[in-house]
């Protein structure tokens, strides 16, 4: 891109941000989330593409159908904002995306002792998956991870735990308010 | 006798690991009282250093009879640079974990060694990573210590292969307290296969592989270890960190944030998780209990299971962060994976609670921690449990004792009727240096000496 084009694009973005955007006071800037991936505030992204084993797509579809969104293992992890599984290229590849708090690689050992079956049931459908207990698993994930080009988080400074805690506080406060406003008849 | 209570229960039928090949430090408790010296060296000449190593071999102590904890023990460890300098083959060097190869100073971003703990402020031998060998002589009496130290020194007095960079004597009498005046080093994990017999009610021993290389760890996973087998098996890793303790600052903070000395003592205990005597808050929530603190059968017999809101012992307290003992978890974590065996020693004198002006003297702790996964464990503890609050459901709050405080300096103390939030905590223990060391087995030391 020429210097002139660059200036032009910057100017357009500044203009669009000014006329159409707003500032919520949060710091949305991105940094590296480790060896790969981006982080904004407390929330990081992990995006990976890998080949599936024959029949892997069928298995994954079945697993997701049975779970119907209720991935209790994901809830147990406690740091997952969301995760997404997309099948690509006629069900031969998987695109895996997740937004999570903090670091994932520090927790690989914990996954291996606490939720090994869940991890292997899902990722065992991926070609070459060494198994969650295998020492090479961190490298396997890194090898398939692609750092996102763009990463935006609406509320970057709150973890899943923070959101759950705040939700409980608000529920409690609302109950107090409702009780106080109750009209005795 | 003070020593008796430290004699852990040994059952020879429970021994499944090669105690006579494992260095004593991994299994022997720090005796009480203790006398010792730590010394760090630079290797000038590999050939000469190997000759010294051959000479030293007979006095390096194995873990055999660890439970008796008699006399003096000699420990010898290598940093990565030391292993490189003494001439380990390249494929052996490459088989060590990345964090060990890089050394502690370089891993600062992974250890949250930032701000006042930044390696640029470390003592020069640590900052420049010039240490090759770290050794320790630890004994249960002054006499044993002096005799063994002399024996140790004699082995290389006429040899220029090693250059002594620094040596530090230390010791503690009957009462093992840190410079804040709190009993320290109470809780240590036990290792399966060492022969330990754990009484009912105590944690079952951790799998051998968590602390000794070459054995299955928790989850029955045997982690890769340095190769060849003779080099890695029965070895372990040592974390060495020098902390300068800002006791006067701590005392001042406590005074300024409490209405009277009793309230101050409670706040100090809430930050630690134990009273000065060592009595845990969970067992004695309202006041110190010296008898409980002194009793080794009782002062560690507790969990946080029935303190689910942290009203006795705050989630943010140092001991609850470092060992959550059946706390409700907010993040999927296996508390048995992040333990270290501590062999720390204190240096400098205790500062009484009424002293709030810093005298500028050096005092603190040489933190020594052992784990087969020492580097990964320290990085986990530093980043997840000491310098963040998400695991404790406390946002970004940090460990009040070892965290690097930010401008907020928050400490949350659950209380009735309303939780208390203290602000403006400072970094009360500042890192002045540190390094990772490999604790080779006795056969590995022999193998190295014959390279």
Cβ separation A116–B332 shorter than 8 A:
no
Residue ranges of the domains in chain B? 1-244+305-451
Smallest Cβ–Cβ distance between B334 and the set A113, A162, A165 belongs to: A113
Helix intervals (H) in A21-159? 56-67, 72-77, 108-114, 116-123, 137-144
Q: Which residues of B are less than 8 Å from A103 in CB distance? A: 383-384
Smallest Cβ–Cβ distance between B330 and the set A78, A114, A115 belongs to: A78
Smallest Cβ–Cβ distance between B384 and the set A106, A133, A161 belongs to: A106
Residue ranges of the domains in chain A? 31-154
Q: How many angstroms away from the CA of A178 is the closest CA of chain B? A: 21
Within an 8 Å CB–CB cutoff, is residue B406 touching chain A? no
Residue B340: closest CA among B433, B222, B427, B236: B236
Cβ separation A79–B390 shorter than 8 A:
yes
Q: What is the DSSP letter of B407?
A: S
Cβ separation B390–A106 shorter than 8 A:
no
Counting runs of H as helices and runs of E as strands, what totals does chain B give?
15, 13
> In whole angstroms, what is the distance from residue B29 CA to residue B27 CA?
6
Q: How many CB contacts within 8 angstroms connect chain A with chain B? A: 64
- What pLDDT does B1 receive? 34
Return the minimum-mean-pLDDT range out of A123-127, A165-169, B11-15, B42-46. B11-15
Cβ separation A113–B336 shorter than 8 A:
yes
Which residues make Cβ contacts (< 8 Å) with residue B323, sequence separation at least 6?
B187, B335, B339
- What pLDDT does B5 receive? 46
Within an 8 Å CB–CB cutoff, is residue B418 touching chain A? no
Smallest Cβ–Cβ distance between B380 and the set A76, A106, A116 belongs to: A106
CATH 3.30.70.100 fits A31-154, yes or no: yes
Q: Which residues of B are less than 8 Å from A27 in CB distance? A: none
Nearest CA in chain A to B334: A110
CA B237 to chain centre: 11
> In whole angstroms, what is the distance from residue B127 CA to residue B114 CA?
14
Q: Which residues of B are less than 8 Å from A78 in CB distance? A: 329-332
Cβ separation B384–A103 shorter than 8 A:
yes
Q: Which residues of A are less than 8 Å from B216 in CB distance? A: none
H/E stretch holding B15: strand B10-15
pLDDT at A52 over 90: yes
Residue B378: closest CA among B108, B115, B82, B40: B108
pLDDT in tens, chain B (451 residues): 334 444 578 888 889 999 999 999 999 988 888 899 999 999 999 999 999 999 999 999 999 988 888 889 999 999 999 999 999 999 999 999 999 999 999 999 999 999 999 999 999 999 988 999 999 999 999 999 999 999 999 987 777 889 999 999 887 766 678 999 999 888 889 999 999 887 666 678 999 999 999 999 998 989 999 999 999 999 999 999 999 999 999 999 999 999 999 999 999 999 999 999 999 999 999 999 999 999 988 999 999 999 999 999 999 999 999 999 999 889 999 999 999 999 888 888 999 999 999 999 999 999 999 999 999 999 999 999 999 999 999 999 999 999 999 999 999 999 999 999 999 999 999 999 999 999 999 999 999 999 9
Residue B377: closest CA among B314, B431, B323: B323
- What pLDDT does B67 receive? 84
Helix intervals (H) in A107-159? 108-114, 116-123, 137-144
Cβ separation A110–B333 shorter than 8 A:
yes
Compute φ and ψ for B328, nearest 5 degrees.
-65, 135
Residue B45: closest CA among B136, B166, B157, B132: B132
Nearest CA in chain B to A73: B332
Within an 8 Å CB–CB cutoff, is residue B383 touching chain A? yes
Q: How many angstroms away from the CA of B418 is the closest CA of chain A? A: 14
Q: Which residues of A are less than 8 Å from B110 in CB distance? A: none
Cβ separation A161–B221 shorter than 8 A:
no
Smallest Cβ–Cβ distance between B221 and the set A112, A114, A115 belongs to: A112
What does B189-250 look like in DSSP terms, one character per residue?
--BTTEEE-PPTTSPPPBPGGGTSTTS--GGG------SSHHHHTT-EEEEEEEEEE-HHHH
Nearest CA in chain B to A133: B221
Compute φ and ψ for B340, nearest 5 degrees.
-130, 150
Q: Which ipTM did the prediction report?
A: 0.90
- Residues on A contacting B at a C-beta cutoff of 8 Å: 42, 76-79, 101-103, 106-107, 109-116, 133, 135, 159, 161-162, 165
Cβ separation A113–B337 shorter than 8 A:
yes
């Amino acid at each position: 891109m020429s210097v002139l084009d660059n200036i032009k694009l910057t100017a357009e973005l500044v203009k669009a941000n000014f006329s159409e955007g707003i500032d919520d006071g949060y710091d949305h800037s991105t940094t590296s989330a480790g060896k790969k991936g981006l982080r904004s505030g407390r929330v990081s992204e992990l995006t990976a593409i890998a080949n599936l084993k024959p029949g892997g797509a069928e298995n994954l579809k079945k697993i997701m159908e049975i779970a119907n969104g209720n991935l209790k293992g994901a809830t147990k992890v406690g740091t997952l904002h969301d995760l997404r599984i997309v099948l690509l290229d006629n069900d031969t590849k998987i695109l895996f995306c997740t937004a999570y708090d903090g670091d994932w690689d520090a927790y690989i050992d914990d996954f291996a002792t606490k939720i090994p079956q869940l991890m292997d049931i899902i990722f065992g459908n991926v070609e070459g998956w060494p198994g969650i207990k295998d020492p090479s698993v961190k490298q396997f994930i890194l090898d398939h991870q692609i750092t996102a080009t763009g990463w935006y988080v609406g509320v970057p400074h709150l973890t899943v735990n923070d959101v759950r805690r705040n939700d409980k506080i608000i529920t409690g406060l609302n109950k107090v308010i409702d009780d106080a406003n109750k009209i005795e008849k | 006798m003070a020593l008796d209570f430290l004699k852990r229960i040994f059952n020879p039928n429970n021994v499944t690991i090669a105690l006579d090949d494992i260095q004593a430090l991994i299994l022997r408790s720090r005796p009480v009282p203790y006398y010792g010296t730590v010394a760090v060296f630079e290797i000038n000449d590999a050939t000469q250093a190997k000759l010294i190593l051959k000479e030293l071999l007979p006095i390096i102590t194995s873990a055999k009879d660890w439970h008796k904890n008699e006399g003096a023990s000699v420990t010898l460890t290598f940093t990565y640079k030391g292993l490189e300098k003494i001439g380990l083959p390249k494929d052996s060097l490459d088989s060590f974990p990345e964090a060990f190869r890089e050394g502690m100073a370089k891993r600062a971003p992974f250890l949250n060694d930032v701000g006042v703990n930044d390696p640029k402020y470390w003592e020069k031998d640590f900052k420049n990573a010039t240490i090759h060998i770290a050794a320790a002589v630890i004994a249960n009496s002054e006499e044993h210590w002096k005799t063994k130290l002399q024996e140790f020194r004699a082995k290389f007095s006429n040899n220029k292969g090693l250059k002594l960079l620094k040596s530090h004597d230390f010791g503690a009498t009957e009462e093992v307290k840190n410079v804040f005046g709190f009993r320290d080093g109470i809780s240590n994990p036990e290792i399966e296969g060492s022969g330990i017999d754990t009484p009912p009610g105590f944690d079952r021993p951790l799998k051998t592989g968590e602390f000794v290389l070459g054995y299955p760890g928790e989850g029955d996973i045997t982690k890769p270890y340095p190769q060849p087998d003779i080099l890695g098996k029965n070895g372990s890793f040592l974390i060495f960190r020098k902390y300068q303790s800002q006791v006067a600052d701590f005392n001042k903070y406590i005074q300024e944030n409490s209405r009277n000395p009793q309230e101050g003592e409670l706040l100090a205990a809430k930050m630690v998780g134990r009273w000065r005597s060592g009595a845990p808050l969970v067992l004695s929530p309202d006041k110190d209990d010296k008898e409980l603190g002194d009793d080794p059968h009782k002062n560690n017999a507790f969990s946080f299971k029935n303190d689910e809101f942290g009203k006795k012992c705050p989630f943010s307290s140092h001991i609850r962060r470092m060992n959550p003992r059946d706390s409700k978890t907010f993040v999927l974590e296996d508390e048995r994976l992040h333990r270290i065996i501590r062999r720390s020693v204190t240096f400098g004198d205790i500062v009484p609670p009424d002293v709030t002006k810093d005298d500028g003297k050096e005092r603190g702790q040489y933190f020594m921690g052992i784990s087969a996964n020492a580097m990964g464990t320290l990085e986990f503890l530093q980043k997840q449990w000491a310098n963040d609050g998400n695991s404790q459901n406390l946002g970004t709050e940090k460990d009040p004792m070892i965290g690097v405080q930010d401008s907020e300096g928050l400490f949350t103390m659950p209380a009735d009727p309303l939780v208390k939030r203290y602000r403006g905590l400072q970094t009360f223990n500042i890192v002045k240096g540190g390094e990772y060391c490999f604790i080779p087995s006795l056969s590995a030391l022999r193998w190295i000496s014959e390279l």
